[in-house]
Amino acid sequence: MNHIYIKKFSDVNGYELPSYKKIGFAKDIEERRKQLSGTKAPIFVETLCAWEFPDNNARTVEQAIHGLLSNKRTDGEWFIDEDDSIVSSVSNLMDAFRIKRVDVSNEEEKEMVSKRNSNLSTVMEDYIVRVKAEGKIDFQYKCNASEITMLSAPNTFYLQMRKTKNPRLVITGNIFKNNFDFIKGVLGREEAGKRVDEKAYDYGYWDEVSPKESAAILKALLDRKQSN
């Protein structure tokens, strides 16, 4: 069986690594993971997703994806993913052609991912406590792996956590459409990046968003909702 996969290097302790993704082809995903991982270390190869091809089309599809993402290519099968959009873009393409997605993570990899998420969960809970203290408000949220989803605003927004830095704030969909300029005004600084594309989802993001800034955004969005 042939596979196309997306992988990245992760740190088991939750420290931030450069945002590179590897899009590759393999007949034996586990053997390829071992080749990439090398010796035992806190840095490990994490399989983000993979798709199964019963025929010989996988290599052709892989090359087509590489071509579509040529503006992000850094070297060979490695692509820079500063806006964290590669997985969703490739997944949408695979879904459109009804290509089967498979779980190819082995127990060792799942254990490393679990340790990384556990380390980050402490960071996330501490951040939430600081947001509540700064804003003197309570709000709904949920934590998933390395991401906090804020649920109390009119639309959700996301905080992608880092071990030694404040998180990246990401807005998509309706909150991007209706509140992008408003949030930029609350933060008082330009976004780190954004995309408006009719063929894909729109998004914007700011790096290094402090608990004080997150609290200010939540309060401003809730006040805006009440006044409308």
For 133-151, the pLDDT digits (tens) are: 998 888 888 877 677 888 7
Whether residues 122 and 221 fall in one domain: yes
Mean pLDDT across 13-24: 83
Residue 112 lies in a domain: no
Whether residues 142 and 220 fall in one domain: yes
Confidence (pTM): 0.61
For the ranges 43-47, 129-133, 161-165, 191-195, the lowest mean pLDDT is seen at 161-165
Residue 43 lies in a domain: yes
- Residue with token string 């947001």: 131
Using the predicted structure, report yes or no on whether residue 189 has a pLDDT greater than 90.
yes
Question: Crossing angle of helices 211-227/107-135, nearest 10°?
Answer: 70
The pLDDT value recorded for residue 33 is 65
Using the predicted structure, report yes or no on whether residue 200 has a pLDDT greater than 60.
no
Residue 110 lies in a domain: no
The pLDDT value recorded for residue 110 is 83
Domain range spanning residue 36?
Answer: 2-105
Whether residues 153 and 187 fall in one domain: yes
Using the predicted structure, report yes or no on whether residue 88 has a pLDDT greater than 60.
yes
Residue 111 lies in a domain: no
Whether residues 72 and 140 fall in one domain: no
> Of the residues 78, 105, 132, which one is the last residue of a structural domain?
105
Residue 185 or residue 201, greater confidence: 185
Using the predicted structure, report yes or no on whether residue 28 has a pLDDT greater than 70.
yes
- CA-to-CA distance for 93 and 96, rounded, in angstroms? 5
> Of the residues 68, 83, 105, which one is the last residue of a structural domain?
105
Residue 113 lies in a domain: no
Whether residues 127 and 193 fall in one domain: yes
Whether residues 86 and 149 fall in one domain: no
Q: Sort strands 73-75 and 168-172 into parallel, antiparallel or unpaired.
A: unpaired
Whether residues 23 and 91 fall in one domain: yes
For residue 37, is it left (φ>0), alpha (ψ between -120 and 50) or beta?
Answer: alpha
Residue 221 lies in a domain: yes
Using the predicted structure, report yes or no on whether residue 224 has a pLDDT greater than 70.
yes
Whether residues 57 and 141 fall in one domain: no
Residue 45 lies in a domain: yes
For the ranges 30-39, 58-67, 102-111, 166-175, the lowest mean pLDDT is seen at 30-39
Mean pLDDT across 187-197: 86
Mean pLDDT across 83-108: 87
Total Cβ atoms within 10 A of residue 169: 24
Whether residues 129 and 223 fall in one domain: yes
Number of independent structural domains in the chain: 2
Whether residues 19 and 89 fall in one domain: yes
- CA-to-CA distance for 78 and 143, rounded, in angstroms? 29
For 31-63, the pLDDT digits (tens) are: 766 676 655 667 888 889 999 998 778 999 999
Write the CATH number for 221: 3.30.1460
Residue 65 forms beta bridges with which residues?
none
Q: Is the Cβ–Cβ distance between 205 and 191 less than 8 Å?
A: yes
- Residue with token string 């991007």: 176
Share of the chain above pLDDT 90, in %: 29
Whether residues 71 and 144 fall in one domain: no
Whether residues 127 and 220 fall in one domain: yes
Residue 196 or residue 4, greater confidence: 4
> Of the residues 61, 78, 105, which one is the last residue of a structural domain?
105
